[in-house]
Structure 1
Amino acid sequence: MATRTQTTVVDVAGVVQGIVLVTIPALSTILTDPAHYGLTSAQYGAMFAPQVVAAIAAALAGAGLARRHGTHAVYLAGLACSLAAMVLLLTSAAAMHQQNLAYPLLLAATAFLGAGFGLAVPALNSLAAAFHPTAVDKAVLILNALLGLGTALAPVFVALFVGLGFWWGLPILSTLLLIALLAVSVRLPMHTGARAAATTAGGRMPARFWLYAAFALLYGICETVNGNWAQLDMTTSVGASATTAALALTAFWTMVTLGRLLFAGVTRWLPARATFHLLPFALAGVFGIIASLPHGHTVQGVIAFGAAGLCCSALLPLTISFGQGELTGFSAAVAGGVIAAYQLGYGIAAFGAGPLVSAGTPLSRLYAIAAFVALAMGLLSFAVAHRQRSPRTLHPAPAPVHAPAQSTT
């Protein structure tokens, strides 16, 4: 059984990792402001390409690294990568008026951010499960809620620091939190003992897996249209202030977190399979509302992005739950593959939308396109969850924790 200190460190790490994950997207108005970095929409979008590649690579490699070096080491490596991302972001701030210097630093920062996400978040889920062997579902639920809390806090901190006149306060705060967390985590024993390796049958992944991967890819597009472009849509299309735009992004991530708690709590009355079918169609409707918001309707914009967060909340964890429930011999590969597909969808929306916006496509049109993506996701949900029983928990059990391999020589 884990000590209170160990569980507290894991929970705090979830909040910190959530803040770090959204730090760069939350600064979108600063990054595209001519008075600061002056990035074009295409440059802003392309900036996330290294993040996607690194996150996919780290997510796919994480299980093997954990078997060789232990989950604790993978967790520490993830924190170190996140710290490097924040240091590079701060370094770019010193050269933000020299784009030939600042932009490469931003690209490197997003690459380290992706690697940190791909390593730290799965490791944290595994540690939370191992520290609470008799209440795995509850522990993972709490950790994911805390991770969501961190993503919701980042835009709040941006609004606060921008209002105080130093936007770079958020990356400084993230850096200090990561340094403190690393200092505690390095000295804290988190060796949970070896557990059985995740089951992975030999041979190729079943054809059914690609339905889950396709759904995760579509979901990644829908989530990222909100997470990375909401603030710019609010300021350019709706005419909101930077503070109100940050509030809209906060509303989105807050409702993602609260929605997971809500749908996990109502499974007795609303089966998870029904939730899985209904939410994509509701999201398509919300995207239609966002696309048609008139200029000046800022309050409605904040509410709409909050509703989008609620619609997104349960979809990714349910995708993994259904996949692990059906493809039981490939449980670890399903989790890693779904996360990789989600990151690919993230990349499509993050840097694929940039050229469209730079070519003159209004951001409101982007949300109209996203509505059709959500409709496709809704239709695909019937193929993914075809005749499947609803999972007992909204949050799938993570892959088993691995201790470092012991030498036999």
Structure 2
Amino acid sequence: MNNRNLIVLIVFLLAFLTGVNFVIFPSLGTAFTDAFLFGLSSSQFGNLFIPQVICIIVACLGAPVLVNKWGPKIVLAVGIVLMLISTGSLWFLHYFLAEKAMLFLVLMVLVAFTGTGFGLSITTLNPLAASLFEKGSAKAILILQFLVGLGTSTSPLMMNLIGDPKNWMYLPGSIFVTVVVVLIVFLFLKIEKGSFFKLPGHFRIPEKLWVFFIAIIFYGCVEGTFGSFGGIILKNKGLDNGEASIGLSLFWAGIALNRLLFGIFSKMVDLSLVFLCAPIAVAITIVLLLVYPDVHLLVFMMFMIGFFMGSIFPGSIGWGTVEFPTYSVLVSGFLMAANQIGTGVVTNVLGRFSDHLNEVLQILVVLMTIISTLFFYLKRNSKIKDAF
């Protein structure tokens, strides 16, 4: 295997492991709220992720400047090390579970490390993948985001395989060892900084990039609603707990499948119009969810909502990278931060409106319509066909 192929393999493997690492704390929810283990209350467990969202946003906005100064290899390595510090420390916490008074504060700090590490890593990985496939940068980002999503679904699966919450320490332990091995290989690779990661000496954020930013904040609101409250929405529509859980899983499966298919087939056919119309397809499916909530179709509707949403976020990063090649790292950090702002606001606010879910869904239809309008505005005199 030549050096370039090894770099591609390790970069995409790190994307998968970044996703695995990112959701380690949510995956351990049963252990954290177990009275005989960590003993967190439900509200403490929810508040645990506030520093994570804040740190991700700050890291995503700061990463472009750091990559411009130090290069992608150093920033990515720092991001991974921060996540490793968090995961490794979590692993060792099983020796100190008797000190319950301090556990919540310690977990808050560790979650902040994970958020910062994730923000630095994912912001750097997007343009790094694009730089390895300059003629197919948008497709590379779609595949990378598919692997990140696959990683986020792996941690909960691993916890299910572990079974008893008392054995929770095997999850961070196995992840820590695996990521350390891959990181060591990565550190021996030679990755040039290159012009792809440089920012102009004096720059201002292009007007069109602000439009992308607004669109992705709205997208984050929709993703956060279904990703965090999808199960509640389905239960409100008449499904039981098991069916609601399946529906939520299929939502994320739809997102992952769309990203994979988009990354594969955009090499063969022009999918730019499909991308532009995706928000409208999401809006129509949500309307069907509202006006025709047949219990036999609800789970399928959740899958289709996820499927139509799949390419919107990574596709926007890829399109922005093609549109503003001299700002590729900035595009990644800017839009990653926008997504976290949208999801962070929704997950911390929507719980107060759990009795008004139909009204919430109506608002999501409006947001998706606005996103489609913004995309068609951005399409004018754009390079979207080069992206898809």
**TM-score for both structures, normalised by structure 2:** 0.80
Structure 1 pair 70–270 and aligned structure 2 pair: CA distance change class (3 A)? closer
Q: Is the 2:286–2:361 contact (alpha carbons within 8 Å) kept by the matching residues of 1?
A: no
Deviations 1:184-203 (A, max 9, x none): 223x2232353355454845
Within a 5 Å distance, the mapping from 1:50-65 to structure 2 comes to 50-65=51-66
Match of 1:103 in 2: 104
1:382 offset after TM fit, Å? 0.7
Q: Is the 1:220–1:344 contact (alpha carbons within 8 Å) kept by the matching residues of 2?
A: yes
Match of 2:363 in 1: 372
Matched, 1:218 2:231: no
Aligned partner of 1:392: which letter?
A: K
Within a 5 Å distance, the mapping from 1:92-241 to structure 2 comes to 100-132=101-133, 136-162=137-163, 166-186=167-187, 188-192=188-192, 194-195=194-195, 197-198=197-198, 200=200, 202=202, 204-230=204-230, 238-241=239-242
The structure richer in helix per residue is: 2
1:302 offset after TM fit, Å? 5.2
SS in 1 for 2:23: helix
Matched residues in 2 for 1:331 and 1:22: separation? 26
Within a 5 Å distance, the mapping from 1:265-284 to structure 2 comes to 271-279=271-279, 281-282=281-282
Count of paired positions: 383
Matched, 1:385 2:382: no
- Which stretch of structure 1 is more off in the superposition, 150-159 or 38-47? 38-47
Structure 1 pair 193–326 and aligned structure 2 pair: CA distance change class (3 A)? closer
Q: Is the 1:78–1:120 contact (alpha carbons within 8 Å) kept by the matching residues of 2?
A: yes
Structure 1 pair 370–336 and aligned structure 2 pair: CA distance change class (3 A)? farther
Aligned partner of 2:85: which letter?
A: A
Matched residues in 2 for 1:52 and 1:64: separation? 20
Structure 1 pair 393–156 and aligned structure 2 pair: CA distance change class (3 A)? farther
Deviations 1:342-393 (A, max 9, x none): 1111211233345x27xxx35xx45752551342232232134315357236
Aligned partner of 1:275: which letter?
A: F
Structure 1 pair 14–344 and aligned structure 2 pair: CA distance change class (3 A)? same
Aligned partner of 1:217: which letter?
A: I
Q: Is the 1:280–1:375 contact (alpha carbons within 8 Å) kept by the matching residues of 2?
A: no
The percentage of counterpart residues that share the same residue type is: 23
Structure 1 pair 155–216 and aligned structure 2 pair: CA distance change class (3 A)? same
Deviations 1:212-265 (A, max 9, x none): 222111211222233344467778985425xx7765554333322210133445
Match of 1:255 in 2: 254
Matched residues in 1 for 2:258 and 2:372: separation? 19
1:16 offset after TM fit, Å? 0.9
Structure 1 pair 20–210 and aligned structure 2 pair: CA distance change class (3 A)? same
Matched residues in 1 for 2:226 and 2:97: separation? 26
Q: What residue ranges of structure 2 are gaps of 5+ in the alignment?
A: none
Matched residues in 1 for 2:177 and 2:283: separation? 37
Q: Is the 2:216–2:338 contact (alpha carbons within 8 Å) kept by the matching residues of 1?
A: yes
Matched residues in 2 for 1:134 and 1:325: separation? 10
SS in 1 for 2:195: coil
1:141 offset after TM fit, Å? 4.0
1:332 offset after TM fit, Å? 4.0
1:68 offset after TM fit, Å? 2.7
Match of 1:316 in 2: 313
- Which stretch of structure 1 is more off in the superposition, 228-237 or 194-203? 228-237
Matched residues in 2 for 1:3 and 1:95: separation? 44
Aligned partner of 1:220: which letter?
A: G
- Which stretch of structure 1 is more off in the superposition, 313-322 or 113-122? 313-322
Q: Is the 2:279–2:371 contact (alpha carbons within 8 Å) kept by the matching residues of 1?
A: no
Structure 1 pair 312–105 and aligned structure 2 pair: CA distance change class (3 A)? farther
1:57 offset after TM fit, Å? 1.7
1:169 offset after TM fit, Å? 3.1
Match of 1:400 in 2: none
Q: What residue ranges of structure 1 are gaps of 5+ in the alignment?
A: 396-409
Structure 1 pair 325–3 and aligned structure 2 pair: CA distance change class (3 A)? closer
Match of 1:338 in 2: 335
Match of 2:25 in 1: 24
SS in 2 for 1:82: helix
Structure 1 pair 203–72 and aligned structure 2 pair: CA distance change class (3 A)? closer
Aligned partner of 1:314: which letter?
A: S
Q: Is the 1:238–1:293 contact (alpha carbons within 8 Å) kept by the matching residues of 2?
A: no
SS in 2 for 1:20: helix
1:171 offset after TM fit, Å? 2.3
Matched residues in 2 for 1:20 and 1:153: separation? 10
1:41 offset after TM fit, Å? 4.8
Structure 1 pair 215–36 and aligned structure 2 pair: CA distance change class (3 A)? farther
Matched residues in 2 for 1:29 and 1:346: separation? 23
Q: Is the 2:262–2:311 contact (alpha carbons within 8 Å) kept by the matching residues of 1?
A: yes
Structure 1 pair 164–301 and aligned structure 2 pair: CA distance change class (3 A)? farther
